[in-house]
Amino acid sequence: MQDSTQEQLETDVAAIWGTPLTAVRCAHCGEAHLVKDVPPRCPFCLEGPVESQPAFLPEEPPEQVVDYQVSGAGLRAALERWSKGVWFRPSDMQADGMAQRAQRYLIPLWLVDGQVQATWRADVGFDYQVVSSQDRYRDGAGWRSQEVKETRVRWEPRVGRLEREYENLPAPALDDHHKLMGRLGEYNLSRRSAYTPDIVADADGGAVRVPTLEPEAAWPGAQTAFVRAAQAECQEAAAADHVRDFTVDAQYSGLNWTLLLLPAYVTWYEEGGRVWPVLVNGQIGHVSGARWASARKAKVASFVIGAVALLLILLGGLLSVAGLLFPPLIAVGGVILLVGVLPALAAPIPVIAAWAYNRGSEQET
C-alpha cells in the first residue's frame, strides 16, 4: 500500500512539473521540498532526516524562473568575500570546498496581475528651499553673515480615483518569505525566463521549496503590493516628492496568479561537530550564514603561546639559579623571566577572542 501511495505521489508531481520529483518533508525543520533524488538530510537546514510524504502543490507548474547569474568562479568569489576576516577560520570554511558542495535551491514566489478600481486620499509633499542668514563670529574677522539654504516640505491633501491594471506584482508563497529575503537580499524580478522541466531536472541534487501559501492565503501580501504600486503611481501623477498617510478603498478584479522560482544555493561547512548551512543569492551573490571561529584552532594558538611562555620562564629560572655560581647570569635570567611573563598573560587571549566572536555570531543568527 505504501509503495502504491508513493508511486501515485511521484506520478502526480511528474505530471505537474514535467519531470520525476519526490516530495519530502524534514523531521527537524518541517519544511517540504521537491527533490529528484531523496537526500540523506534536509536540503535546507541540513540537520534532520527527510521522508517521502504527500505535499499540497499548486495545480499548475511554475511558469517562470529568475535566471542564475552567479556560478562557478563568481560563486567561489562571493563565498571567499563572506568568509574573509573570520577569526581562526575553520578549515572547512574554504570557498573552493563550499562552492563544490553548493546545491541549487529554488524558492517559490507568486506574481499577481489584476485590475484595480479605487478611490484614494493622501498627503503629498513638495520640497522647497528657504534661504536665511546666520551670523557667526570668527577670531580676527568679527561677526560675519552667511547665507544658509534649508529644504522644507509643503504638504497638501489630495483625493482621487484610480483605474489601473498592474502586472507581475510579487506576493509571498512561503510563510517565512520575508525572513528568507532578509537573508538573501533583493532579486531583480524583471530578468525572468519561461519555466522548463530541465531547470529542476538539471539541478544536480538541488531542491525546490514547496509553496506553503496558496493564493487565498497569500492575498494580504498581494494586496500590499497593489497598494504600494498605486501609491507610487499617485505620487508620480501628483508630481510630488513625498507621500504620507496614503489610504485606498479598492476593488480588485481579473486576478491572475503566476508561480515564479527564485535562484539560490545552499552550501555548508562543519565546525564544532555541527553542520552550518550557508545561503547564497543565485542572482546577485549575496551570502548569509553563521560565521563561526574554530575553537580548536584558538585552543592550539593558546597552547603554543603558553608553551613558549613556559619555556621562557623555565629558561629564565635556570639561568637565575646558575647565577648563584656565575652572577652575570642572574640579570640575563631575570630579563628572560620578565619576557616569559608577557606570553603567559597573552595565552588565554585566542580562546577568549574566539568565544567572544562566536557569541556575537550566535546573537546575529
Number of neighbouring beta carbons within 10 Å of residue 202 = 12
Pairwise CA distance, residues 194 & 4, whole Å? 33
Lowest mean pLDDT: which of 44-48, 145-149, 292-296, 349-353? Answer: 145-149
Pairwise CA distance, residues 66 & 329, whole Å? 75
| Amino acid identity, position 269 | Y
E-assigned strand segments in the chain: 22-26, 32-35, 50-52, 64-66, 103-138, 142-172, 192-194, 207-209, 242-271, 274-281, 287-289
Which residue has cell 510524504?
A: 53
pLDDT above 80 (res 129): yes
Single out the residue of 29, 45, 93, 101 nearest to residue 291, CA to CA: 93
pLDDT band at 2 (very low <50, low <70, confident <90, very high): very low
Helix (H) or strand (E) holding 86: none
Alpha-carbon separation of residue 320 from 197, 324, 330 (angstroms): 80, 7, 4
Average pLDDT over all residues of the chain: 87
* Tens-digit pLDDT profile for residues 40-61: 899 999 998 998 877 777 777 8
Q: Which residues contact 298 (CB under 8 A, 6 or more apart)?
A: 87, 88, 350, 351, 353, 354, 355
Q: Give the chain's radius of gyration (CA, Å).
A: 31
Predicted TM-score (pTM) of the model is 0.81
| Amino acid identity, position 87 | W
